[in-house]
Structure 1
Amino acid sequence: MVSPALAAPGLRLDARELLALREEALRTERALPASRRPGAVPAGAPGAGMDLREIRAFAEGDDARRIDPSATARTGMPHIRSFHEDRDDTLLLIVDFRRPMLWGTGASLRSVRAARLAARRGWQAVARGASLAAIGVSAEGVAAIPLAGGVPQMVRVCHMLASCHDRALAGGGVVPSLEEAFIRAMRLCPPGGEVLVATGPDGLAPEDEPALARLARRRLVRVLLPLDRIETAPPAFALPLRAGGRARLAQLRPFDHGALAQRLRVLNVGLEVVADDAG
């Protein structure tokens, strides 16, 4: 149960505020893309279609049935044929509610802003007829809603995110990794789909990277990074910091997301920074 002290807007996530984002999302959503079947848009994702995309070196996890004999014989190394496919218009939302996300100096906790960002993208996906799934990660574990479409599905997602956030506020101090969420995501989101991961600057641990790289191999994966104002425009003066029984003055620096962007780029993952309190 969430303490009454945490029931204020911006601290507790209310499903009603996520549901209310529907109209805002509809105003910003572009027209439905042309497609050859409901829920599909032409895309350049590698898949099992008929149009050749590239011939490249074989990598772990590739389908051995696609090995190209000529390129393999010519180079002396296994090469495969990669084809274009129609990308399913599928969106998977992964929202991080672990303890480091339960923080903020603005009007809302980072965790609440992350959920709002994800909900906006979810409503936009519903508006264009996409299928949707969602994962919430907290100290209580991983909660998931399998793939489905339509407004009722997004309503379920909103309630799941709010419930998961409540459990995070009431939970203990265990900080699980995102690896389990990424492994679950590979089952929830088909190849060619899109995955949005809303987390913080320190949300991705080194041990999460192999699973994230596998997830991004045949999916469009982006990290949504809602930054706090103190991370983008810290005070120009030193602040007192206390850790245990020790105290000191320290000058804060703006968060530089360049290193994180490069780290994600190696994994074939994009980064979208939200550097204000609009979330």
Structure 2
Amino acid sequence: MSATLDAPGIRLQVAELLALREGVFQVGRPHPKSRRPGAVPAKAAGAGMDLREIRGFAEGDDARRIDPAATARTGTPHVRSFYEDRDDTLLLIADFRLPMLWGTGATLRSVRAARAAVRRGWQAAARGASVAAMSINAAGVAVIPIGSGLQQMSRISHMLARWHDQALDIGGEGPPLAQALLRAGRLAPPGAEVLIVTNAEGIAETDESALARLARRRHVRLLVPLDPIDAVPPRQPMPIHAGALNKFARLRPVDHTSLAQRLRTLNVHFEAAGDDAG
């Protein structure tokens, strides 16, 4: 990788990802056995009894879950969704495509994304959960299959750092997110949690059908790591140059309300993280 890019906050270091386990994953601490099939006898994951929400009917929903009262009240079909009896599995998806490879502070958004994903991974590993990971850049999609423990998180950390180095080297737009989501559907079992770390530009309308399919039997969460200029833009007007056109514009904090609403209709939860602590 170019020496110009070999700087903290630009290059993603394996050591910093491994260090995130401190205070979360303690060696010698007893951990529960994984709930993956074969570890302990348990019923298969499925729909539980606790109501999550009542929402508008979407293509692919089970008609048997239509809520008569909400449907009669609104005049449009509504369905009930329930929290699932989940297998304790977490799939991390880190986006290293071109829109993530920038930043106005000391850290690229892609580095913030990796840190946030790995921190959630260490938390899951600490409770004995199984963890898998995927990363997407201009070259395609990389996958670490489901595993558990310190060695698994080490494999994930090395993969993310290597894939991030490659992203900085080759640049480029990369494949659509839907390509990774289709593979995620085969990798994450029903009832698993899926954490996708990307930005608003990373979710195209053409990705939404794949996102909705993934969320039908999984707990899907989208985390957007905010750049400093997203949350606290400069107060003074900023110059904009486009060819012979020169203007000044005043920036506003990024508003993710419309994105959160779009995701809610897909049964996907939205988070925004303003710093590396997530």
With normalisation by structure 1, the TM-score equals: 0.81
CA distance in 2, matches of 1:232, 1:82: 33
Residues 1-279 of structure 1: pairs in structure 2 closer than 5 A? 2-26=1-25, 38-39=34-35, 47=46, 60=60, 86-244=85-243, 246-276=245-275, 278=277
Which secondary structure does the structure 2 equivalent of 1:87 belong to? Answer: coil
CA distance in 2, matches of 1:111, 1:87: 29
CA distance in 1, matches of 2:228, 2:50: 46
**Deviation string, structure 1 residues 29-82 (Cα, Å, up to 9, x no partner):** xx978xxx74279xxx98278x7989x9896376x9xx79xx9xxxxxxxx999
CA distance in 1, matches of 2:138, 2:96: 8
Going from structure 1 to structure 2, the CA distance change for 1:215 and 1:156 (only over 3 Å counts) comes to same
Which secondary structure does the structure 2 equivalent of 1:23 belong to? Answer: coil
CA distance in 1, matches of 2:172, 2:8: 23
One-letter code aligned to 1:147: I
Following TM superposition, where does structure 1 have runs of at least 4 consecutive aligned residues deviating by more than 6 angstroms? 51-54, 80-84
One-letter code aligned to 1:212: L
**How many Å apart are 1:229 and its aligned residue?**
1.1
> Which position in structure 1 is the counterpart of 2:74?
none
Which secondary structure does the structure 2 equivalent of 1:254 belong to? Answer: coil
Which secondary structure does the structure 1 equivalent of 2:117 belong to? Answer: helix
CA distance in 1, matches of 2:173, 2:9: 23
One-letter code aligned to 2:156: V
**Deviation string, structure 1 residues 166-213 (Cα, Å, up to 9, x no partner):** 110001323321001110100110010000000012110100000000
CA distance in 1, matches of 2:221, 2:99: 20
CA distance in 2, matches of 1:52, 1:238: 50
Which secondary structure does the structure 1 equivalent of 2:200 belong to? Answer: coil
Contact kept, 8 Å, 1:89 with 1:193, in 2: the verdict is yes
With normalisation by structure 2, the TM-score equals: 0.81
**How many Å apart are 1:148 and its aligned residue?**
1.1
Count of residue correspondences: 254
Which secondary structure does the structure 2 equivalent of 1:260 belong to? Answer: helix
Contact kept, 8 Å, 1:92 with 1:196, in 2: the verdict is yes
RMSD, matched Cα: 3.2
Which secondary structure does the structure 1 equivalent of 2:199 belong to? Answer: coil
Question: Structure 1 residues 241-250 or 200-209, which shifts more?
Answer: 241-250
Unaligned runs of 5+ in 2: 69-78
Unaligned runs of 5+ in 1: 72-79
Which secondary structure does the structure 2 equivalent of 1:234 belong to? Answer: coil
Going from structure 1 to structure 2, the CA distance change for 1:58 and 1:181 (only over 3 Å counts) comes to closer
CA distance in 2, matches of 1:59, 1:253: 36
**How many Å apart are 1:257 and its aligned residue?**
1.3
CA distance in 2, matches of 1:271, 1:125: 19
**How many Å apart are 1:240 and its aligned residue?**
1.2
CA distance in 2, matches of 1:127, 1:32: 7
**How many Å apart are 1:219 and its aligned residue?**
0.5
Going from structure 1 to structure 2, the CA distance change for 1:83 and 1:272 (only over 3 Å counts) comes to closer
Contact kept, 8 Å, 2:136 with 2:174, in 1: the verdict is no
One-letter code aligned to 1:139: A
CA distance in 1, matches of 2:117, 2:257: 23
